[in-house]
Structure 1
Amino acid sequence: MPGDTTTYASLHDVELCRFAVSGEGRAFGELVRRHGSGVRTLLRRMGAQPAEADDVAQDAFLTAFERIAEFRGEGAFAGWVKRIAARLYLGRLKRDRRLKALDDAGIDLETPGEADEPGDRLDLDEALKGLSTAERLCVSMCYGAGLSHNEAAEALNLPLGTVKSHVKRGLDKLKARLSSDGAAMEGSRSHG
């Protein structure tokens, strides 16, 4: 346990994990405080509504708490818990059958997101809404949750090449939308 002069807020994540393994709940609480917002943001970027993102994030932290002894400190705790959250969210989607198309080979996954109104300020969350469901999931899992292309392919039950294609197309669309030239092109297309 930290001494009187050391607080949990001043400790590194790896140290907090060691304390959590030994049963110190306040140490794990500090990890939740530090990384909860980032986990919820990732889930919203993957397509979860705010309340659902909160639920899945809570489940992810409960799972992380139960498996804290498995965290070896070889990577960032934030990445580890985000991978747990991403997998839980995908499991929920599959159970709810909202993404049945991801499980069926050969079905077109190109479902466009909601269009932005001209003049809306573009940010990453808004730009992600413009991706297809498959592109948003693949980009979020590979760049938000830190999964490799192979891990994302396994989690989504898609061929590796398909995941790579969705990531490439998604990143190209994001770059175009987030650049000032891309925003101007989007505005001219919506009026033409």
Structure 2
Amino acid sequence: MTKSLRELHDVELAVQAAAGGRREYGELVRRHGSAVRGLLRRMGAAPSLADDVAQDAFLQGFQRCAEFRGQGTFAGWIKKIAARLYLKRAAHEARYVAESEVDEAATPVDHAGALDLDEAMKALNETERVCVSLCHGAGMSHPEIAAAMNLPLGTVKSHVKRGLDKLRARLQPATDAGGRSSHVG
């Protein structure tokens, strides 16, 4: 008796997809597509951009499926591909922003005065941004991120901690409405 596609584990599907199994890879896309798009949205991508980058990530994943060894989760592996593609695209598009339009000294706020997490995320280096996004945006554990990014667990933990520390420092208001320090001691 053969298993249906829905009954197969991600690793089994990936092995069959690496051998050219389009239906099997389609099942992986069905299982993980919304999670990949969700991660990209949490990283700051507009819905249409998240769809485009997710599609590119799954196409690249299909081409590189033989590289997936099953040591981590398939979801973590494909999310890593998507996160890297998004960061590359964002860096490429940033090159076209005129220097005069960028005020890096400004506090990251949107037009309503609320703190802007997307702008604060730009203060992180690429690895910190990916680790923080995968951990807190995609809900992946540190070991899953370590496996997906092929990094030591301690390195992932350091990147997440440093990234969160930078975000807290960047997003924490310096004073309250009365001009006093907002730090409670």
Answer whether TM exceeds 0.5 for this pair: yes
**Per-residue CA shift, 1:138-162, capped at 9, x if unaligned?**
66511433656xx7xxxxxxxxx99
Measure the CA separation in 1 of the matches of 2:96 and 2:7. 42
Query: Number of paired residues?
Result: 155
Measure the CA separation in 2 of the matches of 1:58 and 1:190. 45
Structure 1 residue identity aligned to 2:6 = A
Partner of 1:19: 16
Unmatched 5+ residue regions in structure 1? 101-106, 119-125, 152-160, 177-185
Is residue 128–residue 136 contact of structure 1 (8 Å, CA) maintained in 2?
A: no
Q: 1:43 to 1:75 in 2, by over 3 A?
A: same
Q: Output the TM-score relative to the length of structure 1.
A: 0.62
The yes-or-no answer on 1:141 pairing with 2:138 is no
The yes-or-no answer on 1:31 pairing with 2:20 is no
Partner of 2:44: 47
- The one of 80, 83, 86 equivalent to 1:83 is 80
Kindly indicate which of the two structures has a greater share of residues assigned to helix.
1
Identity %: 45
Measure the CA separation in 2 of the matches of 1:27 and 1:57. 18
**Per-residue CA shift, 1:15-71, capped at 9, x if unaligned?**
110111122111101110111111111111111111001000000000000000000
Measure the CA separation in 2 of the matches of 1:130 and 1:37. 24
Unmatched 5+ residue regions in structure 2? 98-102, 136-144, 150-157, 180-185
- The one of 57, 68, 71 equivalent to 2:65 is 68
Q: Secondary structure at the match of 1:72?
A: coil
Q: Output the TM-score relative to the length of structure 2.
A: 0.64
RMSD, aligned CA: 4.0
Q: Secondary structure at the match of 1:37?
A: helix
What is the CA-CA distance between 1:137 and the residue it aligns to?
6.7
Measure the CA separation in 2 of the matches of 1:99 and 1:191. 40
